[in-house]
Amino acid sequence: MPSRRRAVTSCRNCIARRIKCDRHLPCEACMKKKYECSYEDLASVIKCDRDAFERIKQLQEENDKLKRLLEIANQDQGDESVNDTARLLGGLTFQEGRQRYHGFMPGNNAYRNVEDGLTSMLWKTPTFTSLLNVGQRYQLAEIAQRLLPSKDVAMILIDRYLRAHPGGFCHIHTPTFESDYLSMWHSNIACKDVLATTCRPFAFVVALAVFCSAMRTYSSSQDPALQAIEISLGVSRDEYRRVLQKGVNDAFRTGLYLENYDLDVVTALMINQANRDITSNCTLSSVSFVLTKSTGLVE
């Protein structure tokens, strides 16, 4: 014979304490103990303060409204970095509840035109680069021109690096770094000529190391933000990271960084440790320490 379950009419506190409830709001027992009186079903209340009842009803309606708004927000909005990427590089669509990128940026966008140009850097640091000849400087300029991404992609990756690496603020002075990098789009002078004459030929290597480290922080190849960046670059993440790593190494060898190093070289070596295996990190740490000590940054 099936058992009948009686409707719960007592308040929650009286049920927990297993005492009789007078079904008022608030009930006498809760008033004595100064508890907050609440019911699973307000229909079971036989007497309550009218103002309190109206207030409770209003709060319940507001709570339901907030729940509906939250559901809509979860459906229509993705991660903040995804939305930033979409605003800069294209748009997002939704397929079966998942975000998909549909961009309008052409492929192979990693390679910028010469007329995009670079200006000279905004500030100078003591360097030992006076020994570089014109040929070496032009080779470094060619590497920078070939590997620097578009301005929008660059700013996304810089922001990603600083979010994913809290210690990044110790490696780079953010306002100066961003000012240096943004200055690369403020002139129509042929970028190769400008880079070849700047007193900081290794400055762009810091940016390459930041981009490579930022690309490594994406945990999934299905990340909509990463997909947007890959479409804009025209290459996959792994391929672009290999190209960047090779570019950093080529720039160091071309500029003979062990003989012609400056603060940019030290900074790039520190950042680049996030992109290598343990053995290489030990080597990089040793080289970085020697160069840092030589520049007078440590005693």
pLDDT digit string (tens) for 223-254?
777 777 777 777 787 888 888 877 777 777 77
pTM: 0.48
Looking at the structure, tell me whether residues 86 and 67 fall in a common domain: no
Is 1 domain-assigned? no
Q: Domain tally for the chain? A: 2
In this structure, of 40-49, 240-249, 286-295, the range with the lowest mean pLDDT score is 286-295
Q: Tell me the per-residue pLDDT of 88-104, one tens digit each, with 9 for 90 and over.
A: 444 444 444 444 444 44
Its domain, for residue 62, covers 12-72
Is 178 domain-assigned? yes
Is 147 domain-assigned? yes
Looking at the structure, tell me whether residues 280 and 137 fall in a common domain: yes
Categorize the per-residue pLDDT at 141 as very low, low, confident or very high, splitting at 50, 70 and 90: low
Confidence (pLDDT) at 207: 79
DSSP code string of the chain: -PPPPPPP-S-HHHHHHT-----EES-HHHHHHTPPP--S-GGG-SEE-HHHHHHHHHHHHHHHHHHHHHHHHHHH---HHHHHHHHHHEEEEEETTEEEEEE-PPSSTTS--GGG--PPPSS---B-GGG--HHHHHHHHHHHHHH---HHHHHHHHHHHHHH-TTHHHHS-HHHHHHHHHGGGS--S-HHHHHHH-S-TTHHHHHHHHHHHHHHT---TT-HHHHHHHHHHTS-HHHHHHHHHHHHHHHHHHTTTTTS-BHHHHHHHHHHGGGS-HHHHHHHHHHHHHHHHHTTS--
